[in-house]
Chains A and B, each alone.
Chain A
Amino acid sequence: MDELAERYRANLELLEAARVRLQSAVDSGSASDAERRRLATVKELLTPVTESALDAEGNVVAVQRPRQFLKVDVDGQGRAVEVLGDLRHAKNVAVLVPGMGNSLDTFRGQSDRGDLIRQEARPSETAVVVWLDYDSPQGLVQAASKDAALEGGPRLAEFLNELDGLKADGAEVTAVAHSYGTDVLGQALLDGGRAKRVVMTGSPGITKYVDEASDFVPPPTRLYVERAPGDYVAYSEWHGPDPATFPDAIRMATNDPIANDEAVSVHWHNEYYRPNSEALRNIGRVVRGDLASITTTDTSRSAETKLVLGTSWGGPLNAVAGAASKVYDGVVSLTKPSRASARAAASDIDAGGPGGGGQGGSGQGAGELGAGERAGAAGRGAVGSGSAGSGGVGPGAGQLGAGERTGTGGRARAARATGVTRGRRAEGPRR
Chain B
Amino acid sequence: MTDGREFLRSELVAVAAAVVPDQQPVVTHDPGPVNPGVLFDGRGPATVCRVSVETGNGKDPDPAAVVAAAADVLRARGWNAEVAEPENGHYRVAASRDGFEVAVHAWASDWRITFTGETPLVS
The interface of chain A, by Cβ under 8 A from chain B, is: 44, 49-52, 54, 58-62, 98-103, 106-113, 115-116, 119-120, 122-125, 136, 138-139, 178-181, 233, 262, 264, 269-271, 273-276, 285, 290, 292-293, 332, 336, 339
Contact = CB atoms under 8 A, between A and B. Distances in A.
A125 B88 CA distance: 14
A242 B34 CA distance: 28
B77 interface: no
A122 B110 contact: yes
A61 B59 contact: no
Contacts of A339: 123
A119 B39 contact: no
Contacts of B28: 49-52, 62
B42 A102 contact: yes
A269 B39 contact: yes
B34 A109 contact: yes
Interface string B33-72: 0111111111110000010101110110000000000000
B34 A112 contact: yes
Contacts of B90: 122, 290
9 contacts: A50-B29, A51-B28, A101-B43, A101-B44, A115-B50, A136-B41, A271-B37, A274-B36, A293-B87
A264 B39 CA distance: 20
Interface in B10-45: 20, 23-29, 31-32, 34-44
B6 to A, nearest CB: 18
A116 B36 CA distance: 12
B33 to A, nearest CB: 9
Given A275-B101, A276-B94, A54 B31 contact: no
A100 B42 CA distance: 7
Contact of A270 (B23, B39, B94, B117): B39
B105 interface: yes
Nearest to B123: A339
Contact of A98 (B41, B52, B56, B111): B41
Most A-side CB within 10 Å, residue of B36, B40, B58, B88? B40
Given A59-B58, A109-B36, A262-B82, 7 more contacts: A44-B31, A101-B38, A115-B29, A115-B50, A124-B109, A138-B43, A275-B118
A58 B94 CA distance: 28
B23 A99 contact: no
A192 to B, nearest CB: 25
B39 A336 contact: yes
A119 B103 contact: yes
A273 B94 CA distance: 15
Contacts of B56: 52, 60
Contacts of B107: 122, 124
A270 B27 contact: no
Interface in B67-101: 80, 82, 87-90, 94, 96, 101
